[in-house]
Amino acid sequence: MNNLDKLISQFEKFPGVGARQAKRFAFHVLTMNEADSKELSRLVGELKGSVVECSSCHRYFSTVTNEAMCSICTSSTRNHQKLLVVAQDSDIQAIERAGVYDGLYFVFGGTLPLLNAKDNNKLRGSALKATVEKRLEEGLSEVTLGFAVNPDGENTARFVESIIGETLKEKGVSVTYLGRGLSTGSELEYADAETIKNAFQNRQTQ
């Protein structure tokens, strides 16, 4: 396999990227001028050294001082009694742009496919349970499940409830779901600000 085929193969591993799009990415790299291609190579090479995973919410953030927790988790202006569980980092970015949520987050690490028995070792079930138990000691009052409105998202929400639902019920803490505003089949990271705002305003218990 030559270098071009290897690059295409790497792009195919990206979420949501098929063989056709992977080829387009690879050939675009070939048409880049030397300065841009060197900058791209530098950024990829240095990325893991400048971005770390928050020890609390597990989102990635840029750091130069080796902080263990991100600015959201350490902020005194956030509501530490609310926790929003999302599938991935990009969901947090979408919600923060909408400016409708002031609580804390937890990145679950993906979704649990309904019809595909994939390895779910990347999902942070144990870490979520530990986080919830810690937050309960600090006055946690609401956990919102912010997964995509599709079969995989709903299956993931049920899985999360099986992990933390009983503990929250014993403490009288409500579990809510994002409500109307997100249409069936929609991905949170692609939703516009007004849609996310409506989803939060109409969140509901089940």
Tokens of 41: 């190579």
Residues 88 and 123 sit within 8 Å (Cβ to Cβ) = no
Residue 191, pLDDT score = 66
Give the other-Cβ count within 10 Å of 187's Cβ.
18
Residue 25, pLDDT score = 94
For helices 151-171 and 125-137, give the axis angle rounded to 10 degrees: 30
Tell me the pTM: 0.77
Domains of the chain: 3-49 (1.10.8.420), 75-205 (3.40.1360.10)
In whole angstroms, give the CA distance from residue 4 to residue 1: 8
DSSP state of 179: -
- Radius of gyration over alpha carbons of the chain, in Å? 19
Percent of the chain whose predicted confidence (pLDDT) is above 90: 57
In tens, the pLDDT along 160-205 reads 999 999 999 999 998 988 765 555 545 666 666 766 766 676 665 6
Residue 206, pLDDT score = 57
In tens, the pLDDT along 98-148 reads 888 999 999 999 988 876 655 566 899 999 999 999 999 999 999 999 988
SS3 189: helix
Does the pLDDT of residue 8 top 60, yes or no?
Answer: yes
What mean pLDDT is predicted for residues 12-23?
A: 90
Tokens of 150: 């599709």
Residue 203, pLDDT score = 66
Residue 186, pLDDT score = 56
In whole angstroms, give the CA distance from residue 167 to residue 133: 8
